[in-house]
Homo-oligomer: A and B are copies of this chain.
């Protein structure tokens, strides 16, 4: 069981978490719990570290920020005792959770479970602070923001847990954002691959790394709410899903901006010149479309970058103008990427056509298209975002 910062925000909520853990144990399960820091606490600690020095040593930064989860781990153990449940906290260095030495962005390499398994077998609930471990130098490491999901999945894998339940402030994964489509349905199951595609296009329920790890280690993950008792969404392998839906969900992302480099000489190596310059500046380019050339001997290249990197990208392109030899650069930040995701499209033709037709019928112009094996994404004008999501939700039969 993993509980996020909202679930641990204050003693009353921690007592609620203890009650959930007690119920799970009363149902006959051996339970390990991974906890986040109280909501807001990590921000407070990061603020201290940055105020002390914007270039804070990463190892010392980890010493500071890892304390938030240490506090909630101790408090949950105390609350469990008060609820009559034997429990003890296991700090990252006690288990130990061995990580790489990349302080503040460490990756878990190994978890020693002998002592904790013996303790759990003796009836004690193991309470483990998320987000942290111990590096090869014997110092505290942290996994990066949101790393507690990854801690939970890694611990579940190491313990060979039947399931990893991630309690959060939403009660599962929906076919789309219910704030836009009130008839969005909660999915009973979703595959790892679909979850990854949905996360990468802006549906933030689980940290991406935790889903990748769950897929690699075959950990069955359940996303559910700390604040009600409705069943959540189970994230599993494709083989576990009997009745495959064509499309699992519709996602949107308003954090990208479009750049068009026009009048590019139509010769080998010129596209590499554009994206090489951007890569050197650490810009993450997403969709790329090479348009038909309107002027003979030249072509246009359109692509998207994160909106926060638009100014940087324009600067990079301006400096590389002579090397690339383009005519103009135009940009548009008012775009949105709309994606439909589903493993079912592997075996079904026509999925993309349904999308293009549904959008076209409403007069929504498609500015760019990318596809993966289980995803089709289109770029449209941002003002059509909600309309496009609703239209596609209906077109793929997802409405409740």
Q: Which residues of A contact B (CB under 8 A)?
A: 11, 14-15, 45, 48-49, 51-53, 55-57, 59-64, 66-68, 70-71, 73-75, 77-79, 81-82, 88-89, 91, 93-94, 138-140
Determine the distance from Cα of A49 to Cα of B75 in the docked complex, in whole angstroms. 6
B45-A60 in contact (CB<8A)? no
- Tell me how far the C-beta of A38 lies from the nearest C-beta in chain B, rounded to whole angstroms: 9
Contacts of A93 in B (CB 8 A): 93
Max chain B C-beta neighbours (<10 A), residue from A48, A52, A66, A73: A52
- Known pairs A70-B70, A75-B52; A59 contacts B88 (CB<8 A): yes
Q: Of the candidates B51, B66, B81, which one forms a contact with A60 in the assembled complex, judged by CB atoms under 8 Å apart?
A: B81
A60-B74 in contact (CB<8A)? yes
A11-B48 in contact (CB<8A)? yes
Contacts of A51 in B (CB 8 A): 11
Contacts of A79 in B (CB 8 A): 52-53
User: Across chains A and B, which 4 residue pairs bring their CB atoms closest together, nearest first?
Assistant: A63-B74, A64-B74, A53-B82, A67-B67
A77-B63 in contact (CB<8A)? yes
B138-A94 in contact (CB<8A)? yes
Contacts of A82 in B (CB 8 A): 52-53, 55
| Chain A to chain B contacts (Cβ below 8 Å), 7 pairs | A49-B74, A60-B75, A62-B74, A63-B91, A64-B74, A64-B75, A66-B70
Q: Of the candidates B45, B71, B81, B140, which one forms a contact with A64 in the assembled complex, judged by CB atoms under 8 Å apart?
A: B71
**A62 (CB) vs chain B CBs: closest residue:** B74
